């Protein structure tokens, strides 16, 4: 059930993207360049960032919910599609209406069936390439998902203190709160809340899924980036994407917290396209004013998600880009830089006002949010010590730069963007040696885990370029070569990393089993018709779904409430005057019996007391059934009103 909910949420998310791509491809942009790759990156960069701003603004206005967000987004999309300059133009609307009517009448005259409105032309040769890329993209997404999901067995994040705090922050958005007492940024968790709403999964399932979704997005973005900054169409993009998705012994990533949401990773899903568009502004085919506004929105949402990315990672890249952007496109480059400066100033202003409102020191707030107490570097799976491994990456980047300089100045090829990323990668490593209190070394290493695949991909592109004559002859076998490449990388990753991964100890199963039961409960019971009795640490899971009762209240208060309720069950006037004495129609009681160390081990001492309590309730005539059982714990259902809580009973 738990696994299926995660998979179902991701399938719904990408299913929506596929439907939107179909509609865009069929009725808006039918050009050959409009592939799923381009569509995903462009729409995520443009509208994904707008979603972040909309969530932030609606929370401040106390109107945040899915319907309001959708209405605002639809309004923005309509305005963006029509164009602000066309809104007051009667000629524009007259021409559009005439074109639609003409197209409709032509189809009626030619007796075309209704299916012609939704089916692509069969003789469209471009479709073969589009479907091939779509299949490749989906395979990369599935490989990344399987790779990340495998590490659930080593996960230490689920139901940890950090997990509980993150879930409380996710629930706080529904209460119209952006900041909690710790004043930590929550932009990434705002996206988790929105994801849970649009995919109709619970917040805890969304929290379990978001780390996987971030990895999938980064993997797909790396594929797209390699296409834009190198001359390789498939080889380098696939190598870069699968390096991030599969190679754990060469990339410094914490396997025990692999599934934790990482604000830096989510911010980079917006920063990566921004970096490419900064170096190659002509890729974003919009007017200068729209270009400026689009970049402001993107940089603001990055600031809402992660200050480290906005103020530490991006500035060095812009400095390097000054020297490697085409002179012809220099105006747009400076428009992008201007947008960054404006957005950075807006973010400072917003947080200064927030600090004033919550009576928090501004510099302490900035310093605390530029550092991360939730991330630490534990990477024993690496084949070499980190410093030695980074030295090899620096050498490979320098060798790559030398090759690219030859291709650029001698062969007159366009490799400036790739050079910029290699120089930037080297600068990131040297930033780690600065020992600056405002630069978090753990966040820097976490960022490097996303940039190392870029270095690997660029070097792969250089190899393809060196063997260009062979590559040209192999072009007609592209699809077979791509398939073989993907299979080879996947098999090699599994075979050569098995021993390194096996050294990790599997984490405790109890937290994952508890979440699995909560997911099963939420699928089977009607909201607020039942209560759950469990450890205090799980109270956040109950928010907006059902009533919560801790063990102390169940043992000390519930027997009295049960007695009063059933004594007056046929006296509705009593409950109108004393609504506090109404008890849930069902009570689900967690009874732990695990002898292994776990977050719930302290509740083992209550097992006998809880069983005795259930025996007392049975003697009073209460029906008690076993809802779930495994070797670590059991869940009992105390039925106060038969067939009044389960969804199946209420429907059928």
Q: What are the tokens at 513?
A: 């089993």
Over residues 304-330, the pLDDT tens digits come to 999 999 999 999 999 999 999 888 888
Burial label for 210, CB within 10 Å (0-12, 13-18, 19+), is buried
Per-residue confidence (pLDDT) for residue 287, from 0 to 100: 87
Per-residue confidence (pLDDT) for residue 597, from 0 to 100: 59
Q: What are the tokens at 311?
A: 């103020």
Over residues 95-136, the pLDDT tens digits come to 666 666 666 666 666 656 555 555 555 556 667 788 888 899
Per-residue confidence (pLDDT) for residue 90, from 0 to 100: 65
What is the mean predicted confidence (pLDDT) over 267-289? 94
Per-residue confidence (pLDDT) for residue 509, from 0 to 100: 86
Residue recorded with tokens 């993009």: 237
Per-residue confidence (pLDDT) for residue 270, from 0 to 100: 97
Task: Name the more confident of 164 and 650.
Answer: 164
- Select from 235, 241, 74 the least CA-distant residue to 143: 241
Beta bridge partners of 624: 638
Beta bridge partners of 531: 547, 587
d(CA 310, CA 271): 9
Q: Quick check: 332 pLDDT over 60?
A: yes
Q: Where are the domains of the chain?
A: 1-88+122-502, 509-651
Instruction: Please state, rounded to an integer, the average pLDDT across all residues of the chain.
Output: 89
Please list, in sequence order, all residues whose beta carbon lies within 8 angstroms of the beta carbon of residue 393, skipping any fewer than 6 positions away.
425, 429, 452, 455
Q: Quick check: 603 pLDDT over 70?
A: no
- Select from 301, 230, 209, 258 the least CA-distant residue to 457: 230
Written in H, E and C, the secondary structure of 182-220 is CCCCCHHHHHHHHHHHHCCCCHHHHHHHHHHHHHHHHHH
Beta bridge partners of 629: 634
CA dihedral 169, 173, 175, 177 (to 10 degrees): 80
Please list, in sequence order, all residues whose beta carbon lies within 8 angstroms of the beta carbon of residue 100, skipping any fewer than 6 positions away.
none
Range of 474-478, 483-487, 599-603 with top mean pLDDT: 483-487
Per-residue confidence (pLDDT) for residue 1, from 0 to 100: 47
Per-residue confidence (pLDDT) for residue 651, from 0 to 100: 75
Task: Name the more confident of 70 and 88.
Answer: 70
What is the mean predicted confidence (pLDDT) over 574-581? 87
d(CA 105, CA 384): 69
Share of the chain above pLDDT 70, in %: 90
Instruction: Name the band, by pLDDT with cuts 50, 70 and 90, for residue 183.
Output: confident
What is the mean predicted confidence (pLDDT) over 356-368? 91
Which sign does the torsion angle of CA 194, 198, 204, 208 carry?
Answer: negative
Burial label for 177, CB within 10 Å (0-12, 13-18, 19+), is middle
CA dihedral 592, 594, 596, 602 (to 10 degrees): 30
Over residues 454-471, the pLDDT tens digits come to 999 999 999 999 988 777
Instruction: Name the band, by pLDDT with cuts 50, 70 and 90, for residue 144.
Output: very high
Note whether 381 and 255 are within 8 A (CB): yes
What is the mean predicted confidence (pLDDT) over 634-650? 89
d(CA 166, CA 548): 19
Over residues 237-258, the pLDDT tens digits come to 999 999 999 999 999 999 989 8
Per-residue confidence (pLDDT) for residue 429, from 0 to 100: 95
- Select from 449, 187, 434 the least CA-distant residue to 310: 187
What is the mean predicted confidence (pLDDT) over 22-39? 83
Over residues 527-576, the pLDDT tens digits come to 999 999 999 889 999 988 899 999 999 999 999 999 999 999 888 888 88
Per-residue confidence (pLDDT) for residue 588, from 0 to 100: 95
């Amino acid at each position: 059930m738990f696994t299926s909910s995660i998979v179902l949420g991701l399938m719904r998310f990408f299913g929506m993207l596929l439907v939107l791509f179909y509609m865009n491809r069929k009725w808006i942009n039918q050009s050959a360049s409009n592939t799923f790759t381009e569509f995903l990156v462009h729409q995520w960069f443009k509208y994904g960032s707008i979603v972040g701003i909309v969530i932030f603004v609606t929370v401040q206005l106390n109107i945040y919910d899915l319907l309001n967000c959708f209405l605002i987004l639809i309004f923005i999309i309509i305005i963006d599609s029509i164009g602000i300059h066309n809104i007051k133009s009667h000629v524009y609307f007259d021409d559009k209406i005439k074109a639609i009517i003409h197209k409709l009448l032509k189809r009626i005259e030619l007796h075309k069936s209704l299916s012609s409105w939704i089916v692509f032309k069969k003789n469209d040769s471009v479709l073969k390439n589009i479907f091939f890329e779509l299949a490749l993209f989906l395979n990369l997404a599935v490989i990344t998902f399987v790779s990340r999901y495998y590490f659930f067995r080593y996960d230490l994040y689920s139901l940890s203190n950090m997990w509980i705090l993150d879930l409380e922050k996710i629930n706080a958005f529904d209460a119209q709160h952006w900041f909690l007492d710790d004043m930590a940024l929550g932009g990434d968790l705002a996206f988790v809340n929105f994801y849970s709403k649009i995919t109709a999964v619970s917040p805890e399932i969304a929290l379990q899924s978001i780390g996987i979704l971030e990895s999938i997005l980064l993997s797909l973005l790396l594929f797209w980036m390699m296409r834009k900054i190198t001359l390789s169409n498939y080889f380098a993009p696939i190598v870069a994407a699968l390096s991030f998705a599969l190679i754990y012994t060469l990339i410094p990533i914490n396997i025990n917290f692999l599934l934790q949401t990482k604000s830096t990773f989510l911010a980079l899903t917006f920063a990566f396209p921004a970096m490419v568009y900064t170096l190659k502004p002509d890729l974003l085919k919009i007017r200068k004013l729209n270009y400026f506004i689009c970049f402001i929105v993107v940089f603001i949402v990055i600031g809402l998600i992660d200050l480290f990315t906005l103020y530490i990672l991006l500035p060095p890249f812009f400095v390097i880009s000054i020297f490697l952007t085409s002179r012809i496109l220099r105006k747009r480059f400076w428009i992008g830089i201007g947008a960054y400066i404006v957005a950075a100033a807006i973010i400072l202003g917003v947080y200064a006002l927030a600090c004033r409102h919550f009576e928090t020191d501004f510099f302490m707030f900035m310093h605390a949010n530029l550092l991360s107490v939730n991330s630490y570097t534990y990477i024993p799976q690496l084949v070499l010590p980190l410093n030695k491994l980074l030295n090899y990456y620096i050498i490979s980047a320098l060798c790559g730069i030398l090759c690219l300089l030859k291709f650029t100045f001698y062969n007159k090829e366009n490799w400036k963007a790739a050079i910029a990323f290699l120089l930037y990668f080297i600068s990131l490593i040297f930033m780690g040696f600065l020992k600056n209190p405002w630069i978090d070394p753990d966040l820097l290493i976490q960022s490097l885990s996303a940039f190392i695949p870029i270095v690997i991909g660029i070097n792969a592109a250089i190899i393809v370029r060196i063997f260009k004559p062979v590559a040209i002859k192999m072009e007609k076998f592209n699809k077979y070569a791509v398939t073989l490449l993907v299979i080879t990388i996947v098999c090699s990753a599994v075979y050569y990393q098995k021993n390194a991964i096996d050294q990790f100890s599997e984490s405790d199963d109890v937290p994952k089993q508890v979440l699995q039961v909560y997911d099963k409960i939420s699928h089977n019971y009607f909201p607020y018709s039942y209560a759950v009795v469990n450890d205090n640490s799980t109270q956040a899971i109950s928010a907006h779904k059902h009533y919560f009762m801790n063990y102390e209240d169940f043992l000390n208060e519930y027997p009295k409430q049960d007695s009063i309720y059933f004594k007056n069950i046929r006296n509705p006037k009593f409950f109108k005057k004393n609504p506090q004495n109404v008890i849930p129609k069902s009570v689900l009681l967690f009874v732990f019996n695990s002898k292994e160390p776990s977050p719930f081990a302290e509740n083992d001492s209550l097992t006998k007391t809880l069983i005795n309590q259930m025996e007392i309730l049975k003697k009073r005539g209460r029906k008690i059934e076993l809802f779930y059982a495994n070797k670590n714990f059991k869940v009992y259902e105390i039925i106060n009103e038969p067939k009044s809580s389960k969804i199946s009973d209420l429907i059928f």
